[in-house]
Amino acid sequence: LYGRGYSDRPRTRQDAQFFHRQLRELLDHVGVGDDITLIGYSMGGAIATSFAAEHPGRIQQLVLLAPAGMRVPAGRMINIIRSSPLLGDWLMHAVYPRQFRKGVEAERDLPSSVPDIGKLQTAELDSRGFIRSVLSSLRGILAADQREAHTRIAQQGLPVLAVWGRDDDVIPLSCVGTLAEWNRSAVQEVIPGAGHGLPYTHTNEVLRILRSELIALAGR
C-alpha cells in the first residue's frame, strides 16, 4: 500500500481506480494471469472487493478478512475530515495519531505472530506521508460502502469467504449480517476473542479456516 511501510508516498487520490491500477501492474510484473485467489484484509478487503467486481474473469475466489466497506457508520469527526479539505487536513494530523496509538495499545497484550507488531505500527506515524496517505484513502476507497460491488460479485457467482473477529471494534460483528444481505452465497466464519488484528493475533485460526474453506469454495 502506497504511503505505508517502505513504499513510496505519492500525492494522489487513493480511490478504487488507484488501487486497481496498482494491483494490475503488480500482477503483470510477477506474471500472474487469471484464476487468482484474492485475499484482502481491512482496507485491503475493500480493495479486493472492488477489484473482483471490476475484473470477475481474473478471480477464482475472494477471501475477505475483517473487510472495510461494510456500511459502518462514520462518526462526526470522520465526516468532517472527509468533507472539509483544510479543516479536515488539520484535524487528521491533530487527532489521528492519538486514535491510532489507542487502537494499537488495545491489542498490546494479545499474542502476535509478528514480533513487535505494535512498535512497527506506531513507527509509521514518524514516516512523512503516512497520515496524508491514510487521509487520502479515507476520502477515496473508504469513502462509501460497497453494496454495489458485493451485489455484482454475488450476481457473477464468484465464491466469497469472509472471516471476522468477534471482538473487532473497527469492523463490528454486525457486518456479518450486512454481507449476508448483500451476498447470500458468501461463506462466513467468526473467530471468538479476535479483534481487528486477527491475521496476526489469531493466525492459526485464520489459517485453519482458509485450509478448510478454500477447497470447498474452489469446488463450487
Residue 124 in any domain: the answer is: no
Number of independent structural domains in the chain = 1
Looking at residues 25-43, what average pLDDT do you find? 94
pLDDT digit string, tens, across residues 47-97: 999 999 999 889 999 999 999 999 888 788 888 999 998 999 999 999 999
Amino acid 216: pLDDT: 72
pLDDT digit string, tens, across residues 184-213: 999 999 999 999 999 999 999 999 999 998
Residue 94 in any domain: the answer is: no
Amino acid 107: pLDDT: 86
Amino acid 63: pLDDT: 97
Residue 209 in contact with residue 189, Cβ under 8 Å? yes
Residue 131 in any domain: the answer is: no
The domain of 211 spans 34-72+145-220
Percentage of the chain beyond pLDDT 90 is: 82
Residue 85 cell numbers, joined = 479539505
**Is 90 exceeded by the pLDDT of residue 177?**
yes
**If you search the block for the grid coordinates 488539520, which residue do you land on?**
90
| Cα–Cα distance, 92 to 170 (Å, whole number) | 17
pTM over 0.85: yes
Residue 67 in contact with residue 92, Cβ under 8 Å? no
Residue 10 in contact with residue 132, Cβ under 8 Å? no
Kindly report the CATH number assigned to the domain that includes residue 208: 3.40.50.1820
Looking at residues 143-161, what average pLDDT do you find? 96
**Is 80 exceeded by the pLDDT of residue 16?**
yes
- H or E segment at 122? helix 117-123
Residue 106 in any domain: the answer is: no
